[in-house]
Amino acid sequence: MGRECDVVVIGMGPGGEEVAGRLAEAGLDVVGVEAELLGGECPYWACVPSKMIVRAGNLLADARRVPGMAGDARVEPDWSPVAARIRDEATTDWDDAAAVERFTGKGGHFVRARGRLTGPGQVEAGGETYTARRAVVVATGSASWAPPVDGLDAVPYWTNREAVSAKERPESLLVLGGGAVGVELAQGYARFGTRVTVVEAADRLLPPEEPESGALVARVLESEGLTVRTRARAASVRHEGDTFTLVLDGGEQLRADRLLVATGRRPRLSGLGLETAGLDPEARTLRVDGHMRAVPEKHGGLLGHGHGHGRGGEPGLWAVGDVTGEGAFTHMAMYQADIAVRSILGEDGPAADYRAVPRVTFTDPEIGAVGLTEEAAREQGLSIRTGIAEVPSSTRGWIHKAGNDGFIKLVEDTSRGVLVGATSAGPEGGETLYGLAVAVRAAVPVVTLRDMIYAYPTFHRGVLDALADLDRPERA
Ligand SMILES: Cc1cc2nc3c(=O)[nH]c(=O)nc-3n(C[C@H](O)[C@H](O)[C@H](O)COP(=O)(O)OP(=O)(O)OC[C@H]3O[C@@H](n4cnc5c(N)ncnc54)[C@H](O)[C@@H]3O)c2cc1C
Ligand SMILES: NC(=O)c1ccc[n+]([C@@H]2O[C@H](COP(=O)([O-])OP(=O)(O)OC[C@H]3O[C@@H](n4cnc5c(N)ncnc54)[C@H](O)[C@@H]3O)[C@@H](O)[C@H]2O)c1
């Protein structure tokens, strides 16, 4: 039988930590199992350190914008304060003692080990079997994924982990993958003086976002001296001496001191024993219902036991965060964690609603987006029209001048007269997004959005111009 408890949480990243901490605070006997650091990818190797790099790079960029606007400034970039800040302030040298104390202070029991399901409600970790009376929560997150490029396995390439913990910046860097990880880190390193080339297989950067977003980021990166190669596929890689050589499909060779592979992430599900809970062990994501309860990939009775309601009956299985495949964002893991906590405690509450998922890529300009892109809305068969306004044409954008690239794009479902998607790219694009996220989530009528008063001269006042652009005859 092993040790009995109410809940076992496997994986203590942002999602698992939130679920485990909240349930412990609610008085449940919670065991939190974590193989590496309590807090997961986000604080130690992802969101937080990468945004410290972005913040430092933005300071340098602003200093370079001083001439012609505010006098003169000499900029001497130095990577060492960035590395020190990540080591000392963000990660305490990759030590999670404070996070462990926070969790145990709430009454949780922490186990540092790799956990695996061994049956309904049963988790084996560190040689002990834990039996949950109420729930097991899988929150094992995702790991960086590398494509099958000849030679890649044999070379010491960087993932996000090495890129955010580097003590020194390389002279040159090849970035494979032009998604969020790739472009944020590419711009960050380049602003410190690293010669950066981004290689993206798709026809544009940030492929899931609006084409205007990828085009804008490419234009800005190129204007800052980076090389951007789209529709470029890596065929092979080698590492000789201190140099990486990436050979593209057409035979072209690119060389650099370091290679960052940023080609996406995959949920950490292998070896988790999903089959012992009636789930498909080969599934790429762990599918959940609106209350974060695991549901089987295949129909036909595979489910069996192990998915009870978690109160009074058999223990249930829940999942939150990157493993669910609903969007690899910390805010998604936290949102799902909140729903799972309510569900496990048997409290009423709305089911998950993914119509207005916000995304922010923290390049400069920031690319904020919510809901559907124009293409996704058309694919859903919606009758739509779009409106665009350029940031430099707005009063605030014109005043801002240096570094004012950006636009606001709205996607309206004309049958309902509401926005189903929006992009706000520009200075503070991620902050401007907030009002648009409310509009999409609450289905605020476009006529109401037009009837509002927008403070002058803000960046978000550009929304008014984009709303007016919805009516342009050629867009109707
Ligand atoms: C470079 C980078 C920058 C990012 N920036 C942002 C950003 O700005 N904003 C944003 O919203 N998102 C960002 N993300 C995404 C964000 O980091 C993830 O969405 C988030 O960390 C997911 O949380 P999670 O709890 O699902 O999983 P994770 O953070 O991956 O944590 C899962 C934990 O489970 C543990 N684990 C795995 N298997 C087991 C096992 N069998 N037993 C025990 N423990 C196990 C792992 O060790 C890990 O600690 C970024 C990602 C990267 C790579
Ligand atoms: N600011 C944020 O919120 C933030 C920042 C970073 C990461 N994240 C999250 O982390 C996840 C992972 O980010 P990511 O950027 O690693 O993945 P991604 O899937 O967003 O982008 C990977 C890119 O690599 C390209 N690619 C794939 N194989 C390739 C190949 N062989 N050659 C060249 N290009 C190739 C893809 O076309 C894609 O554009 C994202 O889904 C995102 O949700 C969020």
Confidence bin at 370 (pLDDT 50/70/90): very high
Ligand 2 centroid to residue 332 C-alpha, Å: 16
Mean pLDDT in the chain?
95
Cα distances (angstroms) measured from residue 398 to each of 96, 313, 358, 367, 454: 45, 63, 27, 19, 17
Rounded to two decimals, what is the model's pTM?
Answer: 0.97
- The ligand minimizing its distance to the Cα of 112 is 1
* pLDDT score of 465 more than 70: yes
Q: Could you identify the atom of ligand 2 that is nearest to the CA of residue 180?
A: 15
Q: Percent of the chain at pLDDT above 90?
A: 94
Q: Between β-strands 115-119 and 109-112, what pairing exists: parallel, antiparallel or unpaired?
A: unpaired
Q: Are 391 and 409 within 8 A, CB to CB?
A: no
Mean pLDDT of 237-264: 97
Task: Average the pLDDT over 159-175 and give the result.
Answer: 98
pLDDT in tens, 385-432: 999 999 999 999 999 999 999 999 999 999 999 999 999 999 999 999
What pLDDT score was predicted for residue 302?
36
Give the angle subtended at the CA of 99 by the CAs of 96 and 101, to the nearest 5°.
110
CA of 367 to the centre of ligand 2 (A): 14
Q: Is the pLDDT of residue 46 over 50?
A: yes
Question: What is the mean pLDDT of the segment spanning 465-469?
Answer: 98
Mutate-to-test residue for ligand 1 from 44, 47, 260, highest number of ligand atoms within 8 A of CB: 47
* Model pLDDT, residue 314: 73
Q: Which ligand is nearest to the CA of 53?
A: 1
**Could you read off the pLDDT of 6-17 as tens digits, one per residue?**
999 999 999 999
Q: How far does residue 206's CA lie from ligand 2's centre (Å)?
A: 8
**Which bound ligand lies closest to the C-alpha atom of 329?**
1
Ligand 2 atom closest to the Cα of residue 182 is 15
Ligand 1 atom closest to residue 327's alpha carbon, by position in its atom list: 19
User: Which whole-number Å values give the CA distances from 377 to 305, 340, 373, 417, 421, in the listed order?
Assistant: 39, 29, 6, 14, 8
DSSP-derived pairing of the beta strands 172-176 and 195-199: parallel
- Pairwise CA distance, residues 9 & 168, whole Å: 37
Q: Ligand 2 atom closest to Cα of 262?
A: 16
Cβ partners under 8 Å of residue 22, min gap 6 = 337, 338, 341
Residue 323 confidence (pLDDT):
98
pLDDT at 223: 98
H-run or E-run covering 412: strand 407-413
Does the beta carbon of 360 sit less than 6 angstroms from any atom of ligand 2?
Answer: yes
How many Cβ atoms are within 10 Å of 473's Cβ, its own excluded? 5
Q: Which tokens belong to 223?
A: 């204007």
The residues with which 34 forms a beta bridge, in sequence order, are: 112
CA distance 185 to 79: 13
Task: Provide the pLDDT for residue 437.
Answer: 98
pLDDT of amino acid 476? 47
Give 278-314 pLDDT, tens digit per residue.
Answer: 999 999 999 999 999 999 865 433 333 344 544 546 7
Instruction: Identify the three-state secondary structure at position 459.
Output: coil
Decide if pLDDT at 244 tops 60.
Answer: yes
> Residues 67-81: pLDDT tens digits?
999 999 999 999 999
| Sequence-ordered list of residues with C-beta below 8 angstroms from that of 347, at least 6 positions apart, any chain | none
> How far is 238 from 244, CA to CA, in rounded Å?
6
Q: Is residue 1 over pLDDT 90?
A: no
Residue 301: its pLDDT value, please? Answer: 36
The answer to whether 261 and 144 are in contact (CB under 8 A) is yes
The arithmetic mean of pLDDT across residues 95-103, rounded, is 98
pLDDT for the residue numbered 364:
98
Residue 473 — very low, low, confident or very high, per pLDDT cuts 50/70/90? confident
For ligand 1, residues with CB inside 6 Å are 10-16, 33-36, 40-42, 46-47, 50-51, 114-115, 139-142, 160, 181, 268, 272, 321-322, 328-331, 333, 362
Single-letter code of the amino acid located at 52: M
For the chain, how are helix, strand and coil distributed in percent, rounded to 5? 35, 25, 40
Q: What is the pLDDT of residue 296?
A: 80
Q: What is the pLDDT of residue 2?
A: 85
Ligand 2 atom, smallest distance to 206 CA: 39
Report the nearest atom of ligand 1 relative to the CA of 320: 26
Q: Please, what are the domains in the chain?
A: 2-39+96-143+266-345 (3.50.50.60), 152-263 (3.50.50.60), 358-475 (3.30.390.30)
Q: What is the pLDDT at residue 166? A: 98
DSSP, res 154: G
Strands 316-319 and 128-138: parallel
pLDDT at 300: 39
- Residue 201 Cβ inside 6 Å of ligand 2? The answer reads yes
CA distance 374 to 360: 17
Residue 179 CA to ligand 2 center (angstroms) comes to: 4
Convert 65-127 into a string of H (helix), E (strand) and C (coil).
CCECCCECCCCCCCCHHHHHHHHHHHCCCCCCHHHHHHHHHCCCEEEECCEEEEECCEEEECC
Could you give the C-alpha distances from 302 to 118, 270, 394, in angstroms and in order?
Answer: 16, 18, 57
Percent of the chain residues past pLDDT 70, beyond the cut: 96
Q: What is the chain's Cα-based Rg?
A: 24
Residue nearest to ligand 1 atom 7, measured at CA: 47
Task: Please tell me the predicted confidence (pLDDT) of residue 359.
Answer: 98
Partners of 294 in beta bridges: 288
Tell me what pLDDT residue 307 has. Answer: 46
- Comparing 271-275, 310-314, 338-342, which segment has the lowest mean pLDDT? 310-314
Ligand 2 atom with least separation from CA of 328: 43
Averaged pLDDT for residues 80-87: 98
Q: Is residue 183 a contact partner of residue 198, using CB atoms and an 8 Å limit?
A: yes
Q: What pLDDT is stored for residue 297 in this prediction? A: 64
- Strand 142-144 relative to strand 358-361, pairing: unpaired
**Which ligand is in closest contact with the Cα of 142?**
1
